[in-house]
Amino acid sequence: MRRIINFLKIILSPKTWRYLSYLLNRLWLDNISAVPRLRYLGKGTVIEPTACFNVPENVSIGKNCHINRFCCLWASERSKIVIGDNGLMGPSVGIFSSNHGHDVGSTPMIDQPVEEKDIIIGNNVWLGAHVVILPGVKISDDVIVAAGAVVTKDVPANSVVGGVPAKVIGERGAVKKA
C-alpha cells in the first residue's frame, strides 16, 4: 500500500507534470513539427520520433532511408544537408553543417565566427552508431562509415571509413584474402 501511495505522489506531483510537458514540447518542436518542414522527404523514408532537426527547411532526405533514434541533423540558415536514397543511420548519428570557430585570442568561444558549409551524403550510405559528420563533408555513393567515426574530410565512393578522424580502412566489394 505504501508503494502505491508513493507512486501516486510522484505521478501527481506538479514537478512531474512540468517535466512531462517540457519533454512533449521538445519532441514537438524538434521532430514532429519539423518533419513536414523538411525541404524534401523521399517516399518510404522512416524517421524515428526521437530524431531532431535544426532548420529543417535546409534538410533533404532521399527515398527509402532510415533515420534512427536520437540522430541529430543540424543544418543552419546558410548551409544545407542533403542525403541520397537508401541511406541508413545508426542511433545517435550527428550531422552538423555549422560549427563554431576556435581561434586563439581574447574572443570568447560563444562569440567566435561560425563556419557554415553544406554536407552531401550520397546514395546507399550506411552511417554506424554515434558517427559525427562535420561541415563541408561530401560522402560519395556506396560508403560505410564505422561506428564512432568523426568524418572531417570527403569520402570516396565504395570505401569503408572509420576512426577519429575518419580514414579509409577498406573497400566495399574488394576480394578478401584467405
Catalytic residue numbers, as ranges: 102
CB 74 within 8 A of CB 95: yes
Over its C-alpha atoms, the chain yields an Rg (Å, rounded) of 20
Q: How far apart are the first and last CA of the chain?
A: 66
One-letter amino acid identity for 131? V
Cell of 116: 557554415
Q: Which of 14, 154, 136 is nearest to 79 (CA)?
A: 136
| CA distances for 50 relative to 9, 73, 114, 146, 170, angstroms | 28, 12, 27, 22, 32
Distance CA 88, CA 62 (A): 11
d(CA 144, CA 88) in angstroms, rounded, equals 10
What φ, ψ does residue 127 adopt, rounded to 5°? -105, 115
